[in-house]
Amino acid sequence: MSSATRRLDAVIDRYVGDKIVGTNVIFSLGGEVVYARAAGFLDREGGRVMAPRTLFRLSSVTKPYVAVTALTLMEAGRLKLDAAVTDYLPTFRPRLADGRAPTITIAQLLTHTSGLTYDLGLTVPLDQPPSGGIDRSHLTLAENIDRIANVPLAFAPGTGWAYSLAIDVLGGVMEAIEGKSLPSIVAERVLAPLGLGDTGFWPADPTRLSVAYADGTPPHPMADPERIFNPDGSSIVFSPSRAFDRNAFPSGGAGMIGSAEDFFTFIETLRCGGAPLLSPATMPLLTDSHTAGLDTGMPGYGFSHGWSVIEDPVAAATTMSAGGWNWGGVYGHQWYVDPARQATLLVFSNTAVEGCTGRYPLDVRDAAFAA
């Protein structure tokens, strides 16, 4: 047993059954999986143990799939990063507090520098909030984008950074370009070329979809809906049943379902150069920070056209290398790529929000990337 295996087992054993109900962890070096473990329960009350190829509500792990789909359209000459969103969605004109409606580009959507946020209605009439893509909603994608446009911009595009609903807007852009649904576009351009049969906007096999749990002592099965409050006083409304609702709009920021194994194939494809999805010339859009001079609110991190990028490992408080990538999903996931070490780590769980923003994924990361 390697030292990394012992460290990873120790961390997982400490959390599973306490703060985490179930988890699926995959760690690879040089393209070879050196650690894979499914632990705990995918359905604790039903006595069903976590297993390989368990399906998860991906939440923001959706964003990389959709961002890469957009970049394939760019390579095909169908989408221009420097184009205005209004070139594709003429009525999408969110305003600043002073009433101006500035130009927002496709690149600003991808880098979260558009001025949009995840404000789901605090500054608009309470009966007209946009959906964040994980709550149950009667809205169509077009209707939700209209509501996003009614929320005032937090800053002039390009002058700041804020994690946002921008990738939901990007989904609408892609539908307008292709004349097809976002699920069809993602499937044709990313999922099918890689053979990712477990992943889509609805569960490929509902019997393998893990139950969603919310933090507690112990974690409890999520209500539907369940509101979880963040330390800053904001809150997130989860509706686990949305995964089965074929009428729910396809959220480019949070709406997909999939397995850790599929995401591993996807992110390893990108770590290894992008083919057959993207050319080497496009990869710096994903591998390099494109937020120079902007405060991301994440010390040591910038942001690419898909995820965060480590600029300063010391400031980021990580043993990963400069140039490493990572992001997560609020239903309970984090993923990490260290290109310098040829290493990829996925930490998927069914426990929100500990599995995303708690200590669990950080402790797994530190165990895997220990010096």
- The set of catalytic residues is 60
Report the 3 state secondary structure along the chain.
Answer: CCHHHHHHHHHHHHHECCCECEEEEEEEECCEEEEEEEEEEEECCCCEECCCCCEEECHHHHHHHHHHHHHHHHHCCCCCCCCEHHHCCCCCCCCCCCCCCCCCEHHHHHHCCCCCCCCCCCCCCCCCCCCCCCCCCCCCHHHHHHHHHCCCCCCCCCCCCCCCCHHHHHHHHHHHHHCCCHHHHHHHHHHHHHCCCCCECCCCCHHHECCCEECCCCCEECCCCEEEECCCCCEEEECHHHHHCCCCCCCCCCCCEEEHHHHHHHHHHHHCCCCCCCCCCCCHHHHCCCCCCCCCCCCCEEECCCCEEECCCCCCCCCCCCCCEEEEECCCEEEEEEHHHCEEEEEEECEECHHHHCHHHHHHHHHHCCC
